[in-house]
Structures are given as structure tokens and as C-alpha cells.
Amino acid sequence: MKKTRMLTEGALMLAVFTILLLIFNYVPFLSLVAVLILLTPFIIFSAKYSLKYSIVLLFGSIIISFLVGTFLLIPVAIAYGTTGIVIGYCIQRKKSKLTIYIAASLVFLLNTIVQYIVSIAFFKIDVLKDSIQFVRESMEKSMKIMDTFEKGYSDQMMDQFNMLVNSLTTLLPSLLLITSFLVVWILLSINLPIAKRFQIEVPKWGSFRDLQIPKSVLWYYLITVVLTIILKPVQGTFENTALSNLNFIFQLLILLQGFSFLYFFSHEKKWPKAIPILLIIFSFLLLPLQYIIRILGIMDLGFNLRQMINRKSS
């Protein structure tokens, strides 16, 4: 009876995935909605049944993707299938929502990297390089038109544009990481409430004010800063790329710690909830404010400001 039920639900989830995939591929206006809930069939099934049956469902979705579309849909099935299975498996194992989030984000990131490498190695298609080249050519054409009105201005603009492109190219690994975590956060926010309606026990987020980044991050950040000062890596070298990305990620984590401390301090002082939200928004508009919040994050990690505030409150 259990095996029959499993086969029935597996066939049902595969049918739901097929419908969503067809909408994603052939219905322009609804494709965005479909791509946001493609994870749901995999989450529901893998949260109930063993990993080996979930892998069978994944293989079935890959075959269906090829039959209903082209081989170009296979990467979609693999990316969403593996990510959904990891989420469902973690739910089955009663993992925390933070663990689910990190595991799913890393799997989604791995899919992105592998698919990017495959597109270059087998199909000779470099989407990022082609996109940068297209934007660069468009910028050059625009600057030529602008140069007819104001000479010398286009050269300055192109120099700034090239600096921006070089910086983005250097920070590409970090940007891929951040994008993967952002996309998975959106997908979890949409798919987990849907799964909950199908009697799946979904864990809840902890309070943001209780978020604590490991203290070791502060030491890693200091090490990368010292190495950058000592080595003074040249633009375009592996050392520069590695240190720039590590520095960027650690600064982002420390900033996140600072945001969390703002929420904690606001809660302790019983401030209106709008105050920390406005401070976070303004920190992206006013860089000095962002530096202050980052310093608060460093102090919170190094000196445990929360414990000091709790002692004063008691």
C-alpha cells in the first residue's frame, strides 16, 4: 500500500512538474509564475519519501524535459530538481531553516557553475563574456554620439565604464554566490508555504535580531586585509581575484551582522520597527552610514556588544 501510494504521488508530482514546465516554456506571461514554483513537486515528494525515490523522480523530470521541449530544458530540470530534493530531504531530516537555506543555495550555485562551464566547453557559448562585449559595444556607440556634442567627455566615461567592468569581472565569483543565495531565498519564501499546505512540516525562520555570524569570520577578514596590504596583488592575477572576492564576502557578512545588531538594539530599546528598516535602506544610499554599521558589526563580533547590553538591561 505504501509503495503504491508512493508511485501514485510520484506520478502526480511528475505531472505537476510537466504542466509547470510547459507553462514556463510556452506561455510568456505565466512563465515567471511557473519558474517560481517549479521546486514545489520535488520538495513535497522528497520530504515524504527516501532519497533514492526522489532521484528516480529527478531522472523522470529530465526525460520529460527533453520530450516536452528541447535539451535546453534539461538544465532547468536538473537545477530545480536537485535544489528541491535537497530542500525536501533536509525537511525530512528535521533540519533548521538556516541549514536548508545554505544547503539549497550551495546546490543552486553548483548547478549554475557547472552549467556555465558546460556551455563554454561543449557549446562554445560564454554568456557572461558575450553580454559584457555587447554592453561594451553599445557603450562605445553611445559615447561616439555624445562626443559630437562634447569632446573629451566620452573618453572619461569609457574609462569609468571599463573600471566598472573590470571590478565586476573580478568579483564575479562573489556576485554568483550572492545571486544564488538571493534567488534561493525568494524560492524558499514562495515554495515552503505551498508545501506547508500539503501537510509538510516546514521549519520557521529564527528572529533576524538573533542572527550571529561565526566570530572566526572577523579573523578571516583581518587576514585577507593584511594579505592584501602585504602582497599588493596586480589587477587580473589569481591572487587579486581571490583576495578581492574573500574581502567582499567577509565585508558583506560583517555588514549583515551589523544589520542584525541594529534590530537587536532596536528591540531592546523598544524603538518602532520602522527605524532599523529605514537605517538599512539609507545605508545603501549613504556609504558613510554603511561604514558605521559595518564597524558596529565588527564590534559586536569582537566584543559581544549584545551581552554587554543585556547585562546593563538586567
pLDDT band at 121 (very low <50, low <70, confident <90, very high): confident
Rounded to whole angstroms, how far apart are CA atoms 24 and 39?
Answer: 13
Question: Nearest CA to 34 among 271, 200, 194, 212?
Answer: 194
State the pLDDT at residue 261: 92
Given a cut of 70, is residue 129 above it in pLDDT?
yes
State the pLDDT at residue 210: 86
State the pLDDT at residue 103: 93
Rounded to whole angstroms, how far apart are CA atoms 259 and 253?
Answer: 10
Mean pLDDT calculated for residue range 275-281: 91
Given a cut of 70, is residue 1 above it in pLDDT?
no
DSSP state of 91: H
State the pLDDT at residue 150: 61
Given a cut of 70, is residue 313 above it in pLDDT?
no
State the pLDDT at residue 205: 82
The residues spanned by each domain of the chain are 2-123+177-196, 208-313
Q: Which of 45-54, 144-153, 205-214 has the lowest mean pLDDT?
A: 144-153
Do 280 and 262 meet the contact criterion of CB atoms below 8 Å apart?
yes
State the pLDDT at residue 155: 66
Mean pLDDT calculated for residue range 201-230: 89
| Sequence-ordered list of residues with C-beta below 8 angstroms from that of 252, at least 6 positions apart, any chain | 174, 178
Given a cut of 80, is residue 61 above it in pLDDT?
yes
Mean pLDDT calculated for residue range 242-261: 92
Q: What percent of the chain has pLDDT over 90?
A: 50
